[in-house]
């Protein structure tokens, strides 16, 4: 969790530095908008995710984007009767972590831009994803009861795997300033390892509003 929070803060810092320069440089380009986005949220199977990407809105109202997403969620084949190991510290139990599939997802998408106001817009996107994560194998075991610790009723092994998938997502964006804004995103990543559905809140930064012609 600490690593995730630190990563998000670093991404936000880098995005903020990028803001003003990008906003000035892209005024004369062939794109309507061009921005970085950094977000974090929740996913199915008790999961969490964070995301960092870049997106361009072309004058034809098509979008092109690339992003990196980190998703951590309970293993999809987790036994229904799985019990975590627990340490009993006086009256306060401290449980072991769940077996988590920690996936790194690289997405490449095309989509459509839909303007809903001077400062707001939707995007609907689809594309391909490259996914690396883990495959878990569980085996039932007798609980090991010690003085202050009781083990899980399952042991497990995990194996690193890589696969491909399809990413579908829709975003709502609000340009609070010409170079910075907020948004929300829903997504589904359908892949051979484990398919998360999720929602993220995000910070966007770059060239966000139309500029009047001189």
Mean pLDDT, to the nearest integer, of 149-157? 94
**Structural domain spans, the chain:** 2-207
What is the predicted pLDDT for the residue at 28?
A: 47
pTM: 0.81
Q: Does the pLDDT value for residue 191 go beyond 50?
A: yes
Burial, 9: exposed, middle or buried (Cβ in 10 Å; 0-12, 13-18, 19+)?
exposed
Q: Does the pLDDT value for residue 190 go beyond 80?
A: yes
Mean pLDDT, to the nearest integer, of 23-37? 71
Tokens 């449980």 map to which residue?
Answer: 95
- pLDDT band for position 208 (cuts 50, 70, 90): confident
168 with 187: CB under 8 angstroms? yes
Q: Does the pLDDT value for residue 110 go beyond 50?
A: yes
Class of domain 2-207: mainly beta
Mean pLDDT, to the nearest integer, of 189-213? 86
Q: Choose among 200, 203, 204: nearest CA to 70.
A: 200
- pLDDT band for position 14 (cuts 50, 70, 90): low
Instruction: Provide CB contacts within 8 A for 97, sequence distance 6+.
Output: 84
Cα 54 to Cα 34: distance, rounded to the nearest angstrom? 8
Pick the residue with more confidence: 126 or 209? 126
- pLDDT band for position 107 (cuts 50, 70, 90): very high
Cα 91 to Cα 24: distance, rounded to the nearest angstrom? 59
């Amino acid at each position: 969790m600490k690593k995730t929070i630190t990563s998000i803060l670093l991404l936000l810092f880098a995005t903020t530095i990028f803001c003003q320069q990008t906003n000035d440089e892209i005024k004369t380009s062939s794109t309507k908008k061009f921005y970085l986005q950094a977000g974090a949220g929740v996913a199915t199977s008790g999961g969490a995710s964070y995301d960092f990407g870049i997106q361009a809105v072309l004058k034809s109202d098509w979008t092109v984007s690339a992003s990196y997403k980190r998703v951590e969620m309970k293993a999809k084949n987790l036994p229904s009767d799985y019990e975590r190991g627990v340490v009993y510290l006086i009256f306060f139990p401290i449980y072991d972590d769940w077996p988590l599939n920690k996936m790194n997802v690289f997405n490449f998408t095309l989509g459509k831009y839909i303007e809903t106001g001077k400062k707001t817009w939707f995007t609907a996107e689809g594309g391909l994803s490259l996914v690396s994560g883990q495959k878990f194998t569980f085996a039932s075991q007798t609980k090991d009861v010690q003085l202050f610790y009781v083990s899980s009723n399952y042991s497990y092994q995990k194996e690193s795997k890589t696969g491909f998938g399809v990413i579908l997502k829709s975003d709502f964006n609000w340009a609070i300033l010409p170079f910075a804004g907020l948004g929300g995103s829903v997504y589904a990543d359908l892949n051979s390892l484990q398919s998360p559905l999720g929602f993220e809140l995000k910070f966007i930064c770059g060239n966000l509003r139309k500029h009047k012609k001189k």
